[in-house]
Amino acid sequence: MDNQTFEQIKKATREVEIALVNGDYISVDSSARKSRLTGEEIKNAIDKYGGKLSLSPESTYNNIYTIEIENSNPKAWAVDLDLWTNGKLSDLTAQLTVVAEERGFIGLIDDIHVL
C-alpha cells in the first residue's frame, strides 16, 4: 500500500476514534450509514466495558493493523483499532472497514469488543 493511501486510512480511523472519545455515537452511526452497529449499540458496548475512552497517542497510528479487502468496489480495508481508556491502552478493540469513497475515505464500525 502506498503512503498516501495509508495516511488516508489513518485519518479516517482517527476521525472515528475522536467521535467515539467525544461520545458522538450518533454521528458515527449516521456518517457511517453502512456501519454494522447502530449508535446505541456502540454506546452500549463502550458503557459495558467501563472507563472513559481517551485518544490514543498519534504514534499508535503508525502501527495500525490494516488488510485490503479483495475485490471490493470501491476499495476498502479492514482495520483493527486498539482503544484507550483512562489514558491507557485497553483490551477493547474497534473493528472498522475504511472505504475509499468519492468524497474521501470513511471509517465504518463493524464491531467493538474485548480481544
Q: What is the CATH architecture assignment of 3-114? A: Roll (3.10)
CB 115 within 8 A of CB 103: no
Give the whole-angstrom CA distance, residue 45 versus residue 43.
6
Q: What is the pLDDT of residue 42?
A: 83
**Mean pLDDT score of the chain, rounded to an integer?**
88
Per-residue model confidence (pLDDT) at position 71: 96
Q: Tens digit of pLDDT for each residue in 59-70?
A: 888 888 899 999
For residue 10, the surrounding DSSP H or E stretch is: helix 3-21
Q: Domain segments of the chain: what residues? A: 3-114
Q: Between 88 and 38, name the one with better pLDDT.
A: 88
Closest residue by Cα to residue 51 from 99, 18, 87: 87
pLDDT of residue 62: 85
- DSSP letter for 26, please: H
The pLDDT value given to residue 24 = 85
As a whole number of angstroms, the distance between CA 107 and CA 3 comes to: 18
